């Protein structure tokens, strides 16, 4: 797919927008990732294409960074084929199984050690920042087939032992990958670098550097002057031809096109999501689209959100039930709801667009069906 040493291009020119297969892309997840974190994906995707599934390379991956949140878009059809390919490989090849799980665990332990360094050190070299980003990319690269196998194997009784093993392993470093701890330590590292180098810049703006730019800066180069614009809206487009960060007018054009297509494709009936826990529930809906608004959630309602994050669990615990647009069997929402016995349906794709505050709905957590009970 891509070479980890390949530079990531940066542009605000509409003419530099690559050909984007908008109609094939669907929203997979939403996280509070920084552009620095996202720039590690070139490592993860290169690993997947060269070490894990040589029969398939990712055709396109679009990452929209807006309001300190990142949404990931790609082809579900392509992802389903990825699930099948890597699961068959893992089942058929014990050496691949052992190497994958060992490497995943090793990278997780390495990042945990680097977390400790960030907590105690006061200055950081360019090499440390590069390695920190690379190791996160490797961990993401190893967790990708684990996640894909879990989603594929969940319905195969003959492979439940392998399924359970992968579930436990995936959960081991969830706090790093999906829980926000990596970006939390990136923020701490940025704050210390700003202090050590006596910079006048807001440390939060350093989150919008890709790793190549960060390394160049730490080796004596200049900081980009467009970080504030990137903070407003930026896009990372990953394709077989390379990687490019777009901001300004270019990012606005992509963002507008994605929003228009999402509005066009939103259906007026709720489809079937993935049951995570519980039986049937009838209750009143409250839709929360932005994490920051969770403090307004009213206890006892059915919470409808794009996705969940560990740092907001205090609000999720108040819900009568939870519905998410995104997620799979190993998403934070699914794991959290099973652990705290909260009725839930995961991955409905469009519930936040269709359901409205105050609606009464029936949630069947055995089948994953969401029905509008009355308006």
pLDDT at 75: 79
DSSP three-state, residue 62: strand
Whole-number Å distance between alpha carbons of 141 and 225: 31
Across residues 315-330, what is the average pLDDT? 89
C-alpha triplet 295, 296, 302: angle, nearest 5°: 105
Whole-number Å distance between alpha carbons of 22 and 337: 33
Across residues 126-139, what is the average pLDDT? 96
Between 46-60, 202-216, 341-355, the lowest mean confidence (pLDDT) is in: 46-60
> pLDDT tier at 4 (50, 70, 90 boundaries)?
very low
Find out whether 248 and 229 touch, Cβ atoms under 8 Å. Answer: yes
pLDDT at 1: 39
Whole-number Å distance between alpha carbons of 11 and 80: 32
pLDDT at 374: 54
For residue 103, is pLDDT > 60? yes
Between 31-35, 149-153, 158-162, 248-252, the lowest mean confidence (pLDDT) is in: 149-153
- Cβ count near 268 (within 10 Å): 8
pLDDT at 270: 62
How many residues would you count in the chain? Answer: 375
Q: What is the mean pLDDT of the chain?
A: 86
Phi, psi of 9 (to 5 degrees): -70, 150
Paired strand residues for 50: none
Across residues 300-308, what is the average pLDDT? 92
Question: Could you tell me which residues come within 8 angstroms of residue 335 by beta carbon, excluding any fewer than 6 positions away?
Answer: 171, 174
pLDDT tens, position by position, 259-302 = 888 777 655 456 678 888 888 899 999 999 888 889 999 999 99
pLDDT tens, position by position, 45-73 = 777 767 666 555 556 788 999 887 888 88
Between 132-136, 195-199, 284-288, 325-329, the lowest mean confidence (pLDDT) is in: 325-329
pLDDT at 98: 92
Percentage above 70 pLDDT, the chain: 92
C-alpha triplet 45, 333, 84: angle, nearest 5°: 40
pLDDT at 3: 42
pLDDT at 267: 53
Measuring CA to CA, how many Å separate 338 from each of 160, 319, 320, 343?
Answer: 18, 13, 13, 8
For residue 237, is pLDDT > 50? yes
Across residues 327-347, what is the average pLDDT? 86
For residue 200, is pLDDT > 60? yes
> pLDDT tier at 131 (50, 70, 90 boundaries)?
very high
Higher-pLDDT residue of 29, 280: 280
For residue 149, is pLDDT > 70? yes
Domain ranges of the chain: 9-262, 274-374
Higher-pLDDT residue of 77, 219: 219
Find out whether 179 and 330 touch, Cβ atoms under 8 Å. Answer: no
pLDDT at 275: 87
Between 3.40.50.450, 3.50.30.10, 3.40.50.1980, 3.40.640.10, what CATH number should domain 274-374 receive? 3.50.30.10
Between 5-14, 320-329, 338-347, 359-368, the lowest mean confidence (pLDDT) is in: 5-14
């Amino acid at each position: 797919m891509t070479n980890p040493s390949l530079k990531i291009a940066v542009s605000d020119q509409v003419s530099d927008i690559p050909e984007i297969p908008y109609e094939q892309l669907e929203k997979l997840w939403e996280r509070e990732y920084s552009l620095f974190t996202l720039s590690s994906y070139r490592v993860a995707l290169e690993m997947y294409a060269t070490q894990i599934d040589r029969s398939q390379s990712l055709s396109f991956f679009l990452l929209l960074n807006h309001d300190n949140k990142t949404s990931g878009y790609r082809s579900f059809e392509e992802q389903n084929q990825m699930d099948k390919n890597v699961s068959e490989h893992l089942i058929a090849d014990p050496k691949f199984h052992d190497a994958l799980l060992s490497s995943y665990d090793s990278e997780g332990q390495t990042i945990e050690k680097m977390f400790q360094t960030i907590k105690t050190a006061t200055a950081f070299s360019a090499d440390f920042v590069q390695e920190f980003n690379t190791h996160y990319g490797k961990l993401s690269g190893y967790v990708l087939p684990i996640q894909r196998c879990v989603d594929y194997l969940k319905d195969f009784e003959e492979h439940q032992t392998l399924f359970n093993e992968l579930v436990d392993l995936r959960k081991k470093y969830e706090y790093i990958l999906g829980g926000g701890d990596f970006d939390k330590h990136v923020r701490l590292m940025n704050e210390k670098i700003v202090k050590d180098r006596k910079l006048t810049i807001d440390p939060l703006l350093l989150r919008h550097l890709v790793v190549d730019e960060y390394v160049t800066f730490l080796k004596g180069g200049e900081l980009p002057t467009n970080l504030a614009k990137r903070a407003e809206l930026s896009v990372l487009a990953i394709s077989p031809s390379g990687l490019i960060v777009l901001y300004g007018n270019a990012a606005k054009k992509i963002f507008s096109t994605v929003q228009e297509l999402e509005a066009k494709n939103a259906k007026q009936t709720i489809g079937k999501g993935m049951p995570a826990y519980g039986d049937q529930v009838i209750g009143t809906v409250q839709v929360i689209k932005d994490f920051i608004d969770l403090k307004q959630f009213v206890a006892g309602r059915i919470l409808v959100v794009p996705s969940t994050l560990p740092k907001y669990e205090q609000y999720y615990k108040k819900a009568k039930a939870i519905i998410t647009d995104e997620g799979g069997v190993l998403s934070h929402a699914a794991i959290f709801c099973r652990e705290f016995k909260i009725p839930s349906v995961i991955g409905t794709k469009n519930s936040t667009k269709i359901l409205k505050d105050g609606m009464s709905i029936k949630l069947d957590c055995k089948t994953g069906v969401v029905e509008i009970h009355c308006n």
